[in-house]
Structure 1
């Protein structure tokens, strides 16, 4: 076995040094994915360290979501392994209720992430057969290197906001510009003409919230989008799709059924400027990671004209915007509901498990690396990945622990 120089530690404070040997896996990210892995490992007695760049768990939910947000799917599809939602929670828990659930979950499994630790690089050391994870503390700027046999990437598909470049937006437009991750409520936009750039779930809900606060929103729809009712005849559309898939129906058949049901409930949405993609909603989610919009009332506002649909942007100017069809619109503010992306390629120095875009090809790679929450299947998919990862590491851990104990008994 190759020799690797071991770091030194102060016995009275294991974490005080600049180099820390972790007796178990390093988990990057303290969102739902990281917490789920930690819970599975805790149940098996496997020690671990969770590194989180923010100052709290589930920072995306706590710091970068709007106030009116609720889970888009029924709670049974959004719970983490081993713990269900409280019975008194509604079918679609609010943002605050979901955060409460996650905080309770962390306490139940005694999960204590190391906050303000931003991972700069993670590289597998072939000589030592270990992962070297370097971080910078956001509070004091100190640097620490964590050394571990296993690395679990659980930082999520939505780690960084996407901010596209538009001609004139920075140079000429004199109104307020913000990303959806910074938007909390439409209260400060009352009476304002607001351009919402993006028609995904965030864009649709932000536009609806603006309507509720007496703003005048216009929403940019530059490409096709699937809009589905959140429920069909009182049943979750997502749940209907899941049940049909369990009957071994081809995905294209399930898509056809969902689209027929959507047409029945919502009508022909293309007459309002919302063109559907040629690929079905589930197939599009599986292949491109593009989530269909689950309508919670936005479409009715579009139909009445309270939310105006506009085409792609050509340029911005002082006090307004010009679209590709030549039309111009005077606006006061811009909200960029342009989505998020993975930041894994910026710090992970490994090219097998993750693509250049930061998506994982499976949940397990070589040399002890794992991915949780990159399957494009939401929280339920992340929970399934977390169970697999925790069990895989746990089996190795238990086997090696038994071998060490047998060796100890033989010697003595």
Structure 2
């Protein structure tokens, strides 16, 4: 089995040709795209299962979204985890005990850097190299074309036994379309371009979007801006970061571990909100049009504080833009200098033909366990998850599953075909007991306990057949 990680080594001479260009055979090596949190754990777990790994990272260092130096990073100066430390760390690499319950983004970056050092992942990563195309080849293999980031230098195509896509899904901004937006004379920015509160200081600011990022930016604007409006289309459920003296997600995790039914957990959460946060409609925030856990919870202890102190004014959705003002759906009109669209992101796999991931007309891939497409068993996606807990533990076990699946195809092809039939039948299934809203923000929403149980069942099946 090939364990070389050097595509330029002498044993990687061109042995194939495709459309007049040379293709360099990488044997049984697996290609990982991206060296962020998901890509790093994919490299590590593939290594531990005996695979050679080449990882291509368009930036010059690890960390992905958590590396604020990267152009595509959505991180801003005050970013902290919204899931607590025990529910956010890799299961085989704990965060330091001295760290706070909700670590700062700089600590997360150092954590990922130490993870890469500890498991000796750097020799497998080609930095400053972007993937241009990933194309199917004979024998369920893949031709991966790369080039220097920025398009400099010649392209190079290498053939791999399998590909794991870990390029993240929080880097391509989703921008809304409103009547008159192009004629608006004020400043417009997406939250992906927001870096610190100096961008808000002394301005009249409209923050659009009531997700966790939108609420964080609204809170910072409440402290720095001259005037703040916070626009949301629907009401959401707001959870404090601490409950009964402990991080709230740990309290919720205990309720899951006890096996409480969904209806009871929803009732308990509503009761908790009434006791701790209260009725937010009295502040002007819209009433939720759904039950708890049917949308991603907003974890923020400060929004209500600043709304209650008059520093943030909740307003409804936007009807249209005018040259110097914004008309709202209730007929009122405001005059912001700066509009911040905290409207989320869309998944983008520019190097893959949409049909390879079963992508529908809206842009949503159809995958089994948010990982495997129906008809391409040597292609997988890591980290395409929106969880009610931290994502690192989920991607760890997800990539263990990918590695075992690829090994099973070699050692027990008959058993692999049986599991492949399950992948084809269950692709697109939602791993959440709640009726999650059908919006792009919730495409990849999973209940971490339900998802991990499903992954564990698949791991057991793969382990039995090894």
> What range is the shorter-chain TM-score in?
0.7 to 0.9
Partner of 2:221: 210
* Among 331, 342, 347, the residue aligned to 2:347: 342
Mark the CA change 1:11 to 1:199 in structure 2 (over 3 Å): closer, same or farther.
Answer: closer
Contact 1:65 1:184 in 2 (8 A): yes
Partner of 1:147: 159
Q: Is 1:80 aligned with 2:90?
A: yes
Mark the CA change 1:147 to 1:337 in structure 2 (over 3 Å): closer, same or farther.
Answer: same
* Among 16, 23, 26, the residue aligned to 1:19: 23
Pairs within 5 Å for 1:131-142: 131-139=142-150, 140=152, 142=154
Q: Is 1:250 aligned with 2:255?
A: no
In 1: Cα distance, 2:173 partner to 2:311 partner: 28
Question: SS of 2:281's equivalent?
Answer: helix
Partner of 1:108: 118
Q: Is 1:364 aligned with 2:372?
A: yes
Pairs within 5 Å for 1:315-330: 315-330=320-335
Partner of 1:403: none
* Among 371, 380, 402, the residue aligned to 1:389: 402
How many residues in Structure 1 have an aligned counterpart in Structure 2? 384
Q: Is 1:303 aligned with 2:308?
A: yes
- Bigger mean CA offset, 49-58 vs 341-350: 341-350
Mark the CA change 1:303 to 1:11 in structure 2 (over 3 Å): closer, same or farther.
Answer: closer
Contact 1:353 1:361 in 2 (8 A): no
Mark the CA change 1:291 to 1:163 in structure 2 (over 3 Å): closer, same or farther.
Answer: same
Pairs within 5 Å for 1:184-333: 184-282=195-293, 284=294, 290-333=295-338
In 1: Cα distance, 2:287 partner to 2:126 partner: 44
In 1: Cα distance, 2:160 partner to 2:275 partner: 54
Shift of 1:163: 1.1
Question: SS of 2:139's equivalent?
Answer: coil
Q: CA RMSD in A?
A: 2.7
In 2: Cα distance, 1:146 partner to 1:296 partner: 49
Q: What CA deviation, in whole Å up to 9, does each residue of 1:153-186 have, x standing for no partner?
A: 222332411111222222x222221111111111
Q: Is 1:56 aligned with 2:61?
A: yes
Mark the CA change 1:36 to 1:81 in structure 2 (over 3 Å): closer, same or farther.
Answer: farther
Question: SS of 1:27's equivalent?
Answer: strand
In 2: Cα distance, 1:71 partner to 1:230 partner: 10
In 1: Cα distance, 2:366 partner to 2:205 partner: 33
Mark the CA change 1:160 to 1:108 in structure 2 (over 3 Å): closer, same or farther.
Answer: same
In 2: Cα distance, 1:10 partner to 1:323 partner: 58
Mark the CA change 1:277 to 1:118 in structure 2 (over 3 Å): closer, same or farther.
Answer: farther
Shift of 1:10: 5.9
Partner of 1:373: 383
TM-score by length of 1: 0.85
Pairs within 5 Å for 1:116-127: 116-125=128-137, 127=138
Mark the CA change 1:368 to 1:13 in structure 2 (over 3 Å): closer, same or farther.
Answer: closer
Q: What CA deviation, in whole Å up to 9, does each residue of 1:128-161 have, x standing for no partner?
A: 3212223343231532223211121222332411
In 2: Cα distance, 1:34 partner to 1:80 partner: 13
